[in-house]
Amino acid sequence: MIETRSPRARAAALAVAAFILNAAGLGCFGTQARAQDAPPGDAANGRSVYLKVNCFQCHGRAGQGGAMNYPAPPLAKTAMPFEGFKMVVRESMRDMPAYNEAVLADKDLVDIYAFLQSLPDQRPAKDIAILGD
Amino acid sequence: MKRRSNSPDVARRNFLKGASLASAAALAAPTAANAIPAPPQPKLKAALPGPLQIAADTQPPNKDPATQATSGGDFMVDVFNTLDIDYLAMNCASSFRGLHEAIINGKNNKIEILTCPHEEIAVAMAHGYAKIEGKPMAMICHGVVGLQHATMAMYNAWCDRVPVYVMGGNIVEANKRMPGAEWVHSAIDIGALTRDFTKWDDQPTTLQHFAESAVRAYKIAMTPPMGPVLLSLDAELQENPIQEAETLRIPKLAKVMPPQGDSGAIAEAAKLLAGAENPVIVCDRLARTPAGLARLVELAETLQCAVIDNAGRMNFPARHPLNMSFRRGPVLSQADVILALEMNDLWGVLNQFSDRIVRSYRQVYKKGAKVVTLGSRDLYQKANYQDFARFQEVDLAIAGDGEASLPALTEAVKRLIDEGRKSAYDARGKKLAAARLAMIEQAKSDATLGWDASPITTARMCAEVYAQIKDEDWSLVGNAIRNVWPLRLWDIKKAYQWNGASGGAGVGYNAPASVGAALANKRHGRLTVAFGGDGDLMFVPGTLWAAAHHRIPLLYVLHNNRAYHQEVMYLTAMAARHGRGVENAHIGTTLTDPNIDYATVAKGFGVYGEGPITDPKELAPAIKRALAVVKRGEPALIDVVTDPR
> What is the interface pTM, i.e. ipTM, of the complex?
0.85
Task: Determine the residue of chain B that is closest to A48 in CA distance.
Answer: B583
Give pLDDT tens digits for B187-220: 999 999 999 999 999 999 999 999 999 999 999 9
Q: Which residues of B touch A25 (CB under 8 A)?
A: 438
What pLDDT, on a 0 to 100 scale, did the predictor assign at position B12?
Answer: 32
Nearest-angstrom CA–CA distance, B580 and A16: 25
Q: How far is CA B552 from the centre of its chain?
A: 18
Q: Within 10 Å of residue B188's Cβ, how many Cβ atoms? A: 9
Percent of chain B at pLDDT exceeding 90: 88
Residue A46 burial (C-beta neighbours within 10 Å; 0-12, 13-18, 19+): buried
Q: Contact B577/A97, CB-based, under 8 Å? A: yes
pLDDT at B22 over 90: no
Cα dist from B155 to B96, B135, B197, B508, whole Å: 23, 18, 6, 12
Asked if B644 lies within 8 A of A130 by C-beta distance, the reply is no
Closest by CA to B640, choosing from B624, B622, B627, is B622
- Taking contacts as CB-CB distances below 8 angstroms, the residues of chain A near B568 are 54, 57
**By percentage, how much of chain A surpasses pLDDT 70?**
73
Q: Give me the mean pLDDT over the B110-138 stretch.
A: 98
pLDDT greater at residue B296 or residue A2: B296
Q: Is residue B140 within 8 Å of residue B170, measured between CB atoms?
A: no
Which residues lie below 8 Å from residue A39, measured CB to CB, with a gap of 6+? A82, A110
- The mean pLDDT of B23-39, rounded to a whole number, is 44
Mean residue pLDDT of chain B comes to 93
Residue B45, pLDDT score = 63
CA distance A103 to chain B (A): 6
* pTM passes above 0.80: yes
Confidence of residue B46 (pLDDT cuts 50, 70, 90): low
CB contact under 8 A, B446 and A65: yes
pLDDT, position B97: 98
pLDDT tens digit sequence for B56-67: 677 766 678 899
> What percent of the residues of chain A are helix, what percent strand, and what percent coil, each to the nearest 5?
50, 5, 45
For A:78-107, CB contacts with B below 8 A are 92-100, 102-104
Give the pLDDT confidence score for residue B38 in this predicted structure.
55
Residue contact B579–A92, C-beta within 8 A: no
Per-residue pLDDT reduced to its tens digit, B544-556: 999 999 999 999 9
Say if the Cβ atoms of A61 and B353 lie within 8 Å.
Answer: no
pLDDT at B51: 72
Residue A83 scores a pLDDT above 80 = yes
Count of Cβ atoms closer than 10 Å to residue A28 Cβ: 7
Contacts of B40 (CB under 8 A, 6+ apart): none
Q: Do B569 and A94 touch (CB under 8 A)?
A: no
Lowest mean pLDDT among B8-12, B52-56, B110-114, B585-589: B8-12
Q: What is the pLDDT of residues B373-405, one digit of tens each?
A: 999 999 999 999 999 999 999 999 999 999 999
For residue A131, the chain B residue with the least C-alpha distance is B444
